[in-house]
Structure 1
């Protein structure tokens, strides 16, 4: 790989000497007579390293270094200085120089210093390239999943993240709408600006306008100081309006004007304020039904629905349940100070068979609970909440046990325990009391089988007598 080095010195002979020495190592050398000339070269050429003199007419070495750190922060700079001013070179390193060389310099020493600086530059470029690749391929951080339904969501995020279009995220509660909104912001052109989230359903109606647009001191009772609203807080960034379907009609008109005109008026202040905000709205309601019922403004709906992204329920992306569970176990175990390495096959089967009406949020809560109660690094089915198994009928004989029209039990837990005990006793009889064989018959682990024996008070030695 050929590197480009810029030599900056007001002595033409020194520039020629350095050009000749560096060219022998396959380096292409550019020269400049002072700092201003160097900046012009940097704007036109892809430079990998700058070697600059300390004292020059016009813009000197320290001034050039400061400007490079602002305009080209990843570009290494080597400072040349006389032996009598080494302390100045040390100061320049504190100001961001990669290294310095003292005049008169040894060519071998120069080659070594330049080689290290160029290697450093290559490492920075490789890291930047890898970060870019990871950003593109990492499925937007915590957005885990590879099902066809979720790949459509990822494709939509990738398409819209750099635009300023208003986005409407729809889907059931718990499908990850805020995570998607944060991913769009983080990987878009406004990533270095604020992300401000507002739950429209959680703020009292009387305070919502002040929360959104801010207020002046004395605008109403309790307004003891000026307040900056969420629109101004998110200026140049992203404003996330969660549960937008619960926004009062009176406020909807003002939100519509803010989106159309890009101006707001704080409560108690007649002056308009310009805002530059990218809005992402989210709802678990059917806004078209709300429009038909006069509960949501039609014009605001179309203003929000510029780029709709529907999020699938977890049951519609069943292939993602296991990867999501493993992702949550990894992150939550670190928070809980436990070492969780994975799930038993029985636990994975139980989670994959459940319908998850609470979607990703319910799955995360389930894994968090299992992480806390797990007695070993592997989460077993006994560590999972009981409700995961309540909706799953046993194969074959449940009707025989309960009859065609079973009555509603007064104690469901006790009734389920009796059903469980019946199957375990039958498995033990069929396997002549061999617990491993009995566990295999009903499809659970030996540890889980032993736990159930203890919970239900079953003594195996009495069964096989």
Structure 2
């Protein structure tokens, strides 16, 4: 807090402290700037007119160095016009003297609340930027680097993009990254999953409807096309869109215009279209299940998103990312994965792709007891696809016994490779010596130098 009269400052500080606020007073601008540099301060309360450097000088310094700092100006009635002029130049408020301390407290409260709201907004914007920034699209494998190159090329283009890939490969995150790195980044991103909307409601959902058009249409309602005006409309699983609706969607994409269901007025929009599907639309068009003209209109810039099994080199980085997220969310301190766990995850085909990997890591984080996620923390289904003993035979034995056998083989081989030296074997497995000792005891492994 800045003051011009020692007594006024002391009285104000005492009153603010009595109301639970941590306040501090200084008697000149230089002292205020020094205090600000050395201490965490949430708000500055200053007089406008002071001997020497005054409130204007302090405000100028704060605007240059701490533009986010809320400032409340105390000024005499005669100087209110000057205070209002300053407020227009920055994020300031003012209190006219003389004033009641309750007015001062109320004004400070409003300023702090405004700052808190602005900080929350900045934090949320940053989280969105981080969530959908290219840096969050993890992967160094060649197939995924090709995808990154494609989306980098197309970001600033208005071209329609068609993503093809299996479910769970991360198409939605890539689509959002394109929008968030385009000129439309500050406009709406509207996501429509065509596979989840009932067929009888999809036309209304996309284009909106006029009041009274059908039972339940109690008011005129905008559709997703109109909501996406100025931004991007993402049509996920467009291969599941009813054939009867595809002609109207084609026209809306080509002409950027449409009519509400039950309406006659043409609505014009400015929308960038991105679509995605797990189906082969060329084959679907050949079978008559998808309009060929719509397929060609969507297929301006096709991008194939590889399955996770084609990105084996990325599994470790993706797993580490999910591990950090879920460990932080439940307050666990986990440093990574054991070598055995990483080997098991790399050998699994991941039919559910990144979505399945994410669920797997979340479960492993919950059950992990050590500082690393180990082989036994992974869900059993990762090992259910092991080869059968013979084509006509089913799986022999139970799953727990099979998992124990696999773990014994891995530990035994690690000890054999290290000549029976447990410290080296534990390091190679990515676990502690104590953890290895427990496994050796549990699995009944006999250790000799140079052998099992």
TM-score (norm 1): 0.63
1:216 deviates by 1.0
**Structure 1 residues 437 and 333: alpha-carbon distance in aligned structure 2, compared to 1, 3 A threshold:** closer
Structure 2 residue 218 is the aligned partner of structure 1 residue 236: no
Call closer, same or farther: CA 1:459–1:159 in 2, change over 3 Å.
closer
CA contact (8 A) 1:428 1:435 kept: no
* Structure 2 length-normalised TM: 0.65
Alignment of 1:389 with 2:383, yes or no, is yes
Alignment of 1:413 onto 2:399:
yes
Separation of aligned partners in 1, 2:429 and 2:188: 51
Q: Pairwise mapping of residues 74-113 of structure 1 onto structure 2 (< 5 A)?
A: 87-97=80-90
Give 3-state SS (helix, strand or coil) of 1:165's partner.
coil
* Residue aligning to 1:221: 215
Unaligned runs of 5+ in 1: 1-68, 75-82, 100-130, 394-401, 461-465
Deviations 1:126-151 (A, max 9, x none): xxxxx9xxx89x96142111222111
Q: 1:298 to 1:450 in 2, by over 3 A?
A: same
Matches within 5 A, 1:335-346: 335-346=329-340
Say which one has the larger Rg: 1
Q: Superposition pairs for residues 416-455 of structure 1, below 5 Å?
A: 416=402, 419-420=405-406, 436=422, 445=431, 447=435, 450=438, 454=442
- 1:159–1:403 distance in 2 versus 1, CA, 3 Å: closer
Kept after mapping to 1: 8 A contact 2:340/2:410? no
Aligned twin of 1:310: 304
Residue 390 of structure 1 deviates from its aligned partner by 3.9
The reply to whether residue 269 of structure 1 matches residue 263 of structure 2 is: yes
Q: Show the counterpart of 1:165.
A: 159
The separation in 2 between residues aligned to 1:164 and 1:292, in whole angstroms, is: 28
Among 252, 255, 280, the alignment partner of 1:258 is 252
Structure 1 426/358 Cα, relative in aligned 2: closer, same or farther at 3 Å?
closer
How many angstroms does 1:318 deviate by? Answer: 1.4
The Cα of 1:407 is off from its aligned counterpart by 2.6
Q: Tell me by how many angstroms 1:91 deviates.
A: 3.2
Q: Deviations over 1:252-311 (max 9, x none)?
A: 011001011111111111111101111100000100110111000000000000111111
Question: Aligned residue pairs: how many?
Answer: 339
CA distance in 1, matches of 2:427, 2:88: 72
Structure 1 Cα separation of the partners of residues 212 and 193 of structure 2: 26
Q: Paired residue for 1:60?
A: none
SS at match of 1:282: strand
Segment of structure 1 superposing worse, 321-330 or 201-210? 321-330
Give the secondary-structure state (helix, strand or coil) at the position aligned to 1:250. Answer: helix
CA drift of 1:421 comes to: 8.4
What does 1:38-437 correspond to in 2, within 5 Å? Answer: 87-97=80-90, 140-391=134-385, 407-409=393-395, 412-413=398-399, 416=402, 419-420=405-406, 436=422
Question: Alpha carbons of 1:202 and 1:424: their partners in 2 closer, same or farther (altered >3 Å)?
Answer: closer
Q: Give the Å deviation of 1:314.
A: 1.2
Superposed CA deviations along residues 56-104 of structure 1, whole A, max 9, x for unmatched, are xxxxxxxxxxxxx9xxxx9xxxxxxxx99755444334333499xxxxx
Distance 1:188 1:369, change over 3 A: same
* Local SS of the residue matching 1:388: helix
Change (3 A) 1:93 1:344: farther
2:104 maps to: none
Instruction: Assess if the C-alpha contact under 8 Å between 2:243 and 2:289 holds in 1.
Output: yes
Deviation at 1:173, TM superposition (A): 1.1
Aligned to 1:29: none
